[in-house]
Chains A and B, each alone.
Chain A
Amino acid sequence: MAEIIQEEKAGGKKKAKKHAPHIDMTPMVDLMCLLITFFMLTTAFSKAKIMEINLPEKLKDKSIDPPKIVASRTLNIVLGPDNKLYYYPGTVKPEDYNNLPPLQPTDYSANGIRTILLERNRALFKKIDDFKTQVTAGKLVMSQDSVQKSISKLKTDDDTGPIVLIKAYKKATYGNFVDILDEMNICGIARYTFVDIAFYENTMVEHAAGIASTAPAASPAKK
């Protein structure tokens, strides 16, 4: 006390008390940490994406025949149990019910179904790919919308690629379904649809899968 008084007397000038230049930021840091953690846990970075699919309309009038498709261009893909995948070309006629064509096993990988689809869809895929290369190279300048339009025009005009019929055995999963539709988009298949599985295809799947491992799965549907 005495010293201060002395100082004042000596200095003469009244000095304002200096504040410490540092504010303690620790509580603010704590708060920020909490907020960041909260935001990281409750929010999602990317919005979910959607994949569009159109299913064939159900024919309520039995007198109208469903549209006919060429057997030589038809490719049947059957989603089997336990992530198995089978395919067979063409159609099965009623006289062949006792002599069913064998299912070819394949898988969802890039070397499986994708190679098969690309091989059959080579012409169209090449056209689409050429078109996309031209757009990315800047030779064709157009908006994103017209790019999409041109690609779908290429797809509608195509008459050589396969007509893919996708069928699902009851033990397949939703993931299999999305995977195969995704594969259609990757390979640029122009015509594909999802149809109900026929009874003989059930037998074919059970026959094909039964050999491998799932014999019990085959028995109930045979009744």
Chain B
Amino acid sequence: MPKIKLPTKSPHIDMTPMVDLFSVVLTFLMLTTTMRQPEPAPVDTPTSISEKPTPDFNTMTLLLSKDDKVYLNFDNGPDTLLAFRPKILAEMGKRYNIEFTEAELAEFKKYPSSIGVPILKMKDFLDTRDNKVRTAMESGIPIDSTDNQLADWIFCTRTVNPNVQACIKGDAKTGFEVVKKVLDIMADKNVFKFNLITTLEAAKINLADIQK
């Protein structure tokens, strides 16, 4: 019996449609998504029905982590030429008699994440390039009544950028004591309007619910 010979197929598969598909997916991802900012502490925000998007600039964001640490972040303003961040740091330095060099201010300007370093360690923090050393320094901004650096930060931010809006980004499990403290500090500095950062979750109710 002669063997039936199957025609040997070429080992090459045509990848062109796959490339096409991937290009489409890639383009879609690049256009629809925004870069996620790295955060010094993982924060799981609570949900709400609010559909208002976060403002792009003129914000100061307070990050309240699960372990009750407070971090602060603010932006450079609607135009990077305004460079609010280095101005705020310089203002802060004046209050604590710390002279920041040009290089340190430039480093602070482009530092993307929230800051949680006591102001006395800020110089070392900006000088080092080692991320491990930096993480070790992040003990949160002090909010005790004896050493209330958060109040000073808020004051400086509002001096440099009067249009700033306060945003609070807290973990759902953050204890209320620290939230209350932060709210009190803000109220002392005459900030009464807050934007609480949440994730969207739909909730539907109909009239039948209230008629029963």
Contact = CB atoms under 8 A, between A and B. Distances in A.
Interface of A: 22, 24-26, 28-29, 32-33, 35-36, 39-40, 42-58, 79, 110, 114-115, 118-119, 122, 125-126, 129, 168-179, 181-182, 185-187
A185 B50 contact: yes
A15 B14 CA distance: 27
A185 B35 CA distance: 30
Would you call the interface of chain B mostly helix, strand, loop, or mixed? mixed
Interface string B187-212: 11000111111111001010101100
30 contacts: A24-B15, A32-B26, A36-B22, A43-B33, A44-B35, A46-B200, A47-B34, A47-B54, A49-B48, A49-B53, A50-B198, A51-B196, A54-B192, A55-B187, A57-B187, A58-B188, A110-B203, A110-B209, A114-B205, A126-B207, A126-B210, A170-B175, A173-B174, A173-B175, A174-B173, A174-B176, A175-B172, A181-B196, A182-B48, A182-B50
Interface in B130-179: 167, 169-177, 179
Nearest to A185: B49
A185 B203 CA distance: 10
B18 A176 contact: no
A51 B205 contact: no
B209 A115 contact: yes
Contacts of B195: 50-53
A76 B19 CA distance: 61
Nearest to B16: A25
Contact of A51 (B33, B50, B187): B50
B49 A170 contact: no
Which 6 residue pairs are nearest across A and B when measured between Cβ atoms? A175-B172, A25-B15, A43-B33, A32-B22, A50-B195, A178-B46
A154 to B, nearest CB: 16
Interface of B: 12, 14-16, 18-19, 22-23, 25-26, 29-30, 32-36, 45-55, 64, 167, 169-177, 179-180, 183, 187-188, 192-200, 203, 205, 207, 209-210
Given A36-B25, A48-B54, A182-B48, A173 B172 contact: yes
B35 to A, nearest CB: 6
Contacts of A168: 176, 180
B26 A49 contact: no
A186 B210 contact: no
A115 B16 CA distance: 58
Contact of B48 (A24, A118, A181, A187): A181
Nearest to B53: A47
Contact of B174 (A22, A24, A25, A174): A174
Given A43-B33, A174-B172, A50 B45 contact: no
